[in-house]
Chain A
Amino acid sequence: MITIFGKKIRLFRPRSIWLRKVVQFFFFGFIALIAINHTLVESGGGIPFLSTASLHALCPFGGVVTIYQYATAGTFVQKIHESAFILMILGFLLAVLFGPVFCGWVCPLGTVQEWVSKLGKKLFRRRFNNFVPAKLDNVLRYLRYGVLAWVLYMTAATGTLIFAEYDPYFALFNFWSGEVAVTGLVILGVTLGLSLFVERPWCKYACPYGAVLGISNLFRVFSIRRVEATCKADGACNIVCPMNIAVDTKTTVRDHQCISCLECTSEAICPVAKTVVFSTPLPKNAQTLPVLNPRGSK
């Protein structure tokens, strides 16, 4: 750490939150093993000491879609069990505290999209994640709320897990079984294909669970906060944000698409210490403390 023109700048800093990638890999492997074990058990085998639950039982969005039936009939939508309901509650608890941290740290489908996107970044470099025109992108970002409304309505109307036929997450971990609908496989393929051009396309434009959790960005306890006084305005946080959020124009990120990945923070890409942080509301004087403002206003 050195001080240049009054700013503390780290010479050697990680450019990414490596621990997030470890956690993502863990959950991907964990869910994959359980999905495989579920198949093995049905054919008489199985991995000892590992859950044999179906994927539906381990999906918090299953809890969301069954809320209506649970409230009106006291039962769960078929294939949904208490575990999904509990995971939904835990997901909401995490979201109230930390925002959609489930999306950024846990969801295996988000993880796979990030893995594919690494190839896209190498292929397209600066153009990667900037293919969609801004105006169109802004509109498309609200599409997932339409998907959410459709899924909730159809599930309530039919009493069946209608989304399973379209769910790329279910297709990802069941493509070897006969339970996956062709539509699910097609959507998974399209999602992975688009991940070469856009970071997390499913999360941005279509994920109904991301839509639910995204609302927590409006009131979450811990948020991404930028200390304007120490910000160099170099745009690094904007470039690294997988969800294309303009972090450097905000003091508190309330964007409904933030996934709490922390990649924009001073712990990762931001070169100035304690400038982009993940915190509860900062003290009022935090914005004016340091000596020099790169924009020259003070």
Chain B
Amino acid sequence: MTLTSKPLAAIVLVILFGGILFTTAMGWWQTESTKQPAKFITGEFSGQANPADIRGSYTFGDVENNFGIPAATLAQAFGVTDADPAAFPVKNLETIYAESELEVGTASVRLFVAFYQNLPFDLSDDIYLPESAAELLKGQNLTPEQAAYLENHTILVSVAGSDSPQPASTPAADSPSAPAPAAEATHTTDESDRAIKGKTTFGEILAWGVPRETVEAIIGGPLPAPSITPKDYCLEKGLSFEDIKTQLQAEVDKVK
């Protein structure tokens, strides 16, 4: 059987586009990530989403959906000033930290999420976090290894377009006396919005500056996971959400 160019061209087009149409009809053709990271398949965290699989195409909203960290907290950690932090693509961090000599990007978000939620994470690579993110993590139950890693991988870095006078990419551990105005300059949560509601998480309250010890004193026990809301915590513990809310709000107002 001999083929000439015309039937060959037709067959090539039919196989390629026919294959695409067929797989589209079957629901197999995907050109984007499903925004669902791989899960741990063994060990204590089996079944939980693995932060190492966070992609640059994820938005902060996708991270919130998969890991329970509010997009506003992520925005605060990484100095993102967008009006809608949930729509901010993780890969855009590389743009806003373009002036940094040490990369702050998708890997930084993976590290932040892992530490924030106490999930396993490979620390063999050097991944850096801005001071603002490190500050938020200091309120978490970090292991000594994590704390040491964080100390050595925190950088004072200004966000592109920021008025911060910080020199780019100065490891914070090397200059402990250096102030960190960049972190403050990048805090973006509108202070007038700092009202504790049913959806507010303990993580957000910590991010707003309320000390961990103060929160624990109010709720009368150790701080639960940052993604838990005080409302859910109160329901579980049989506490009055209104009382706890009032006390927490007072502390939030103090640190505004």
Q: Does A51 contact B9, Cβ atoms closer than 8 Å? A: no
Q: Select which of A73, A79, A89 is within 8 A of B55 by beta carbon.
A: A79
**Cβ-closest chain B residue relative to A54:** B31
Complex Cα–Cα for A93 and B22 (A): 15
Complex Cα–Cα for A106 and B63 (A): 38
Q: Select which of A19, A82, A278 is within 8 A of B2 by beta carbon.
A: A278
**Cβ-closest chain B residue relative to A76:** B33
Q: Select which of B3, B15, B30 is within 8 A of A83 by beta carbon.
A: B30
Complex Cα–Cα for A267 and B8 (A): 13
Q: Does A19 contact B9, Cβ atoms closer than 8 Å? A: yes
B38 CB, nearest partner CB in chain A, Å: 5
Q: Does B15 contact A90, Cβ atoms closer than 8 Å? A: yes
**A267-B5, A278-B2, A279-B3 are known contacts. Are A90 and B16 too (CB-CB below 8 A)?**
yes
Q: Select which of A17, A23, A54, A81 is within 8 A of B13 by beta carbon.
A: A23
Q: Which residues of A contact B5 (CB under 8 A)?
A: 17, 19-20, 262, 267
Q: Does A81 contact B4, Cβ atoms closer than 8 Å? A: no
Among residues 175 to 231 in chain B, which have CB atoms less than 8 Å away from a CB atom of chain A? Answer: none
Q: Select which of B1, B19, B33 is within 8 A of A90 by beta carbon.
A: B19
B58 CB, nearest partner CB in chain A, Å: 11
- Residue B32, interface by CB 8 Å: yes
Among residues 260 to 285 in chain A, which have CB atoms less than 8 Å away from a CB atom of chain B? Answer: 260, 262, 267, 274, 277-280
Fill in one digit per residue for A30-74: 1 if any B CB lies within 8 Å of its CB, else 0.
000000000000000000000111100110000000000000011
Q: Select which of A17, A54, A81, A106 is within 8 A of B12 by beta carbon.
A: A106
Fill in one digit per residue for B1-29: 1 if any A CB lies within 8 Å of its CB, else 0.
11111101101110110011001000011
Q: Which residues of B contact A279 (CB under 8 A)?
A: 1-3
- Residue B95, interface by CB 8 Å: yes
Q: Which residues of A contact B32 (CB under 8 A)?
A: 53-54, 57, 81
Q: Does A23 contact B38, Cβ atoms closer than 8 Å? A: no
Q: Select which of B8, B9, B38 is within 8 A of A73 by beta carbon.
A: B38
Q: Select which of A51, A75, A93 is within 8 A of B15 by beta carbon.
A: A93
Complex Cα–Cα for A73 and B40 (A): 11
Q: Does B28 contact A105, Cβ atoms closer than 8 Å? A: no
Q: Which residues of B contact A17 (CB under 8 A)?
A: 5
Q: Select which of B13, B29, B33 is within 8 A of A86 by beta carbon.
A: B29
- Residue A78, interface by CB 8 Å: yes
A269 CB, nearest partner CB in chain B, Å: 13
- Residue B53, interface by CB 8 Å: yes
- Residue A101, interface by CB 8 Å: yes
Q: Does A57 contact B31, Cβ atoms closer than 8 Å? A: yes
- Residue A209, interface by CB 8 Å: no
Q: Which residues of B contact A222 (CB under 8 A)?
A: 1, 3
Number of B residues contacting the other chain (C-beta, 8 Å)? 28
A88 CB, nearest partner CB in chain B, Å: 11
Q: Does A278 contact B8, Cβ atoms closer than 8 Å? A: yes
- Residue A9, interface by CB 8 Å: no
Q: Does B12 contact A82, Cβ atoms closer than 8 Å? A: no
Q: Which of A52, A89, A94 gathers most chain B CB within 10 Å?
A: A94
A64 CB, nearest partner CB in chain B, Å: 16
Among residues 219 to 269 in chain A, which have CB atoms less than 8 Å away from a CB atom of chain B? Answer: 222, 260, 262, 267
**A20-B9, A23-B12, A278-B2 are known contacts. Are A82 and B28 too (CB-CB below 8 A)?**
yes
Q: Which residues of A contact B3 (CB under 8 A)?
A: 98, 222, 278-279
- Residue A178, interface by CB 8 Å: yes
Q: Select which of A83, A105, A278 is within 8 A of B4 by beta carbon.
A: A278
Complex Cα–Cα for A147 and B20 (A): 29
**A73-B38, A279-B3, A280-B1 are known contacts. Are A82 and B29 too (CB-CB below 8 A)?**
yes
Q: Which residues of B contact A280 (CB under 8 A)?
A: 1-2
Complex Cα–Cα for A53 and B23 (A): 16
Complex Cα–Cα for A280 and B3 (A): 9
Complex Cα–Cα for A178 and B105 (A): 14
A261 CB, nearest partner CB in chain B, Å: 9
Complex Cα–Cα for A51 and B30 (A): 11
Q: Which residues of B contact A97 (CB under 8 A)?
A: 11
A-B contact pairs, 24 of them (CB 8 A): A19-B5, A19-B6, A20-B5, A20-B9, A23-B9, A53-B31, A73-B38, A75-B53, A81-B33, A82-B30, A87-B16, A87-B20, A94-B16, A98-B11, A101-B8, A178-B95, A222-B1, A262-B4, A277-B2, A278-B3, A278-B4, A278-B8, A279-B1, A280-B2
- B residues apposed to A, CB below 8 Å: 1-6, 8-9, 11-13, 15-16, 19-20, 23, 28-33, 38, 53, 55-57, 95
Instruction: Known pairs A86-B23, A87-B20; list 13 more (Cβ under 8 Å).
Output: A19-B5, A53-B32, A78-B53, A79-B56, A81-B33, A83-B20, A87-B19, A94-B12, A94-B15, A98-B11, A101-B8, A101-B12, A178-B95
- A residues apposed to B, CB below 8 Å: 17, 19-20, 22-23, 51-54, 57-58, 73-75, 78-79, 81-83, 86-87, 89-90, 93-94, 97-98, 101, 105-106, 178, 222, 260, 262, 267, 274, 277-280
